[in-house]
Chains A and B, each alone.
Chain A
Amino acid sequence: MNHPKHNPLLNRLRKGRVMFLLLIFVIVSGWCYVDSSIETGPYNLVYPTNFGNRVNIPADNPTTKQGVYLGRMLFYETKLSSNNKLSCSSCHQQDKAFTDGRAFSPGVDGILTPRNSMSLVNLLWARKFFWDGRASGLEEQAMTPLTSPHEMGQSLTTSAQKLTQATNYPTLFKLVYGDEKITGDRIVKAISQFERTLISANSRYDQYLRGAYQPTPDELKGMELFNTMPHPEKGIRGANCSHCHGGPKTYMELFHNNGLDSLPKDSGMEILTRLPADRGRFKVPTLRNIAFTAPYMHDGRFKTLEEVVDHYSEHIEQSASLSSFLQGESNEPGGKSLKLLPVEKKQLIAFLNMLTDSAFITNPAFSDPHLLSTKNKKH
């Protein structure tokens, strides 16, 4: 480093002292600027080719390494809630594939959410968010939990003010957006960038699809049932799950009534559209990491995968808005539900367990960054 004593200019000129202070200032502010460990530049989203490139990244929010870093800080930031106790991660916990193990989740005021917390995975490909698809982008989606009085309960303006007063955030926002201004828009954009990196592509099913895993006989049989439409007249047995949950991502962005109730308490998309055909219609959720995301369905009514499979096998409730894919789908002629054999249910569940991606739920890049930094420095 330049030491002033060895600089002849500084020794000769009285002005040198000013220069010295200036130099110190530059060095110190450069060091304060941001922790040098933060990488910058475009973020490379890596995923298998069979996921396809129909990704959803708005033109005004490209994914950058520094943006993802900031987004991850904010995803785990309790200052974004009115009581400083809740963050996104309160209801979206990594070890539960970003769900929370509850049927309904308490917000800052203790009031429970009306629907079950959703797993956050492979959102890069999603275009409609929430159980009823009402949000058309992650940026738009994030505003709801942040500001809803029964979730994090704080206006975006207050959130921006609180972050402006925090030591590390202004410099981080500068690194991401070019200046230190903190706004609600910049908060939701960074969070969305982080969410787009939550890619899960290493379950045993993914490994099987790329020829790197040999499934057990039960898994193979379960996979076949999952992908086959039953045809009792032709002696073909199946569970036909892939009609709604199919493809390499086990997510197809469809909205259906899967026969939970004939008179639903929560009428789902009908509340938005007022169309009787939308009664009891909800997003067909991803089945990725399904073993970790109990309880199941929009109201968390099923505690186990066994209960879910029993539903499709025995308890499809008839109604005018029941999906046509589930009407008269049965392994018995004239049956109203699938009517699977006990061994077939076991095989189907063996396949569902193949969708577990342990690398995803333990990926250090998705964990709470505040835990790491508090170990090293005090706040």
Chain B
Amino acid sequence: MKKQFLIACMVLLSFTTIPFISQAQTIKISGEVSTPLTVDAAYLQKFTQTTVVRKDRDGKDHTYSGVILSEILKGAGVTLGPELKGENLTKYLLVEASDGYQVIFALAELDKSFTDRAIILADKVDGAPLATADGPYRIIVQDEKKPARCIKQVTAMQVHFVK
């Protein structure tokens, strides 16, 4: 009897704890790509790390580090570099955050042969991981005056043609 009660308790307990096994945030890359990707921390480590300095709301400069966005997109087979011409110039990247916020970049804004401005997917600020409410991944747009496209808590990126 006692044993059954114990087992019942354990079963119940295991149910209640299920929702609290935490997961790690990843980023899904989909749409007009040749290889849909799920980006996680380990995947990002394979790329060269780049830093971008940006002023935050506190008015102070902060050093963000991460990976050039176009490098990640190339890994998914997005038409960048020599392929970015003709109708491919009507493609855009839609970035979505966990709070539902969305921003877009024209592919040409991300391409090195069009611009030197760096747009990175950052996972660190001043050498430390981003705060929970900002991270784990945030887009940092070099020199853009408004921070509105420095989208926090990125969860998905999709490449689309304009209709």
A residues with CB within 8 A of B: 128, 133, 253-256, 267, 270-271, 273-278, 281, 320-324, 327
Complex: A133 Cα to B101 Cα, angstroms: 13
CB-based contact A322/B133 at 8 Å: yes
Closest Cβ of chain B: how far from A134's Cβ, in Å?
A: 13
The 10 A-B pairs at the shortest CB distance, nearest first, are namely: A324-B133, A320-B132, A274-B23, A254-B100, A254-B99, A255-B99, A277-B132, A255-B100, A253-B100, A271-B19
Which of A253, A256, A274, A277 has the most B CB atoms < 10 Å from its CB?
A277
With both beta carbons as reference points, the residue of chain B lying nearest to A269 in the complex is identified as B98
- B143-157 residues with Cβ-Cβ distance < 8 A to A are 152-153
Interface residue B131 (Cβ < 8 Å from any Cβ of A):
yes
Interface residue B42 (Cβ < 8 Å from any Cβ of A):
no
Task: Point out the residues of chain A lying under 8 angstroms from B153, CB to CB.
Answer: 277
Closest Cβ of chain A: how far from B98's Cβ, in Å?
A: 6
Task: Point out the residues of chain A lying under 8 angstroms from B22, CB to CB.
Answer: 274-276
Q: A323-B133, A324-B152 are in contact. Are A274 and B21 (CB under 8 A)?
A: yes
Q: A254-B101, A255-B98, A276-B22 are in contact. List 8 more A-B contacts (CB 8 A).
A: A253-B100, A274-B21, A275-B25, A277-B132, A277-B153, A278-B98, A320-B131, A321-B133
Task: Point out the residues of chain B lying under 8 angstroms from A278, CB to CB.
Answer: 98
Give 12 pairs: A residue, B residue, CB < 8 Å, sorted on A: A133-B100, A253-B100, A255-B99, A270-B19, A274-B21, A274-B22, A275-B22, A277-B25, A277-B98, A320-B133, A324-B131, A327-B133
Task: Point out the residues of chain A lying under 8 angstroms from B133, CB to CB.
Answer: 277, 320-324, 327
Task: Point out the residues of chain B lying under 8 angstroms from A274, CB to CB.
Answer: 19-23
- B98-143 residues with Cβ-Cβ distance < 8 A to A are 98-101, 131-135
Closest Cβ of chain A: how far from B20's Cβ, in Å?
A: 8
The number of chain B residues touching the other chain, given as a range, is 10 to 19
B residues with CB within 8 A of A: 19-25, 98-101, 131-135, 152-153
Task: Point out the residues of chain B lying under 8 angstroms from A327, CB to CB.
Answer: 133
Complex: A323 Cα to B101 Cα, angstroms: 13
Complex: A139 Cα to B163 Cα, angstroms: 25
Complex: A276 Cα to B131 Cα, angstroms: 12
Complex: A291 Cα to B21 Cα, angstroms: 39
Complex: A278 Cα to B22 Cα, angstroms: 10
Closest Cβ of chain B: how far from A241's Cβ, in Å?
A: 16
Closest Cβ of chain B: how far from A254's Cβ, in Å?
A: 5
Complex: A239 Cα to B95 Cα, angstroms: 28
Task: Point out the residues of chain B lying under 8 angstroms from A277, CB to CB.
Answer: 25, 98, 132-133, 135, 153
Q: A255-B98, A256-B99, A324-B152 are in contact. Are A273 and B134 (CB under 8 A)?
A: no
Task: Point out the residues of chain A lying under 8 angstroms from B23, CB to CB.
Answer: 273-275
Q: A255-B98, A255-B100 are in contact. Are A324 and B19 (CB under 8 A)?
A: no
Complex: A370 Cα to B94 Cα, angstroms: 46
Task: Point out the residues of chain B lying under 8 angstroms from A267, CB to CB.
Answer: 19
CB-based contact B100/A128 at 8 Å: yes
Task: Point out the residues of chain A lying under 8 angstroms from B98, CB to CB.
Answer: 255, 273, 275, 277-278, 281
With both beta carbons as reference points, the residue of chain A lying nearest to B23 in the complex is identified as A274
Complex: A320 Cα to B131 Cα, angstroms: 8
Closest Cβ of chain B: how far from A132's Cβ, in Å?
A: 11
With both beta carbons as reference points, the residue of chain B lying nearest to A253 in the complex is identified as B100
Task: Point out the residues of chain A lying under 8 angstroms from B132, CB to CB.
Answer: 276-277, 320-321
Complex: A270 Cα to B133 Cα, angstroms: 14
Q: A322-B133, A324-B131 are in contact. Are A281 and B99 (CB under 8 A)?
A: yes
Closest Cβ of chain A: how far from B79's Cβ, in Å?
A: 26
Closest Cβ of chain A: how far from B5's Cβ, in Å?
A: 27
Closest Cβ of chain A: how far from B103's Cβ, in Å?
A: 13
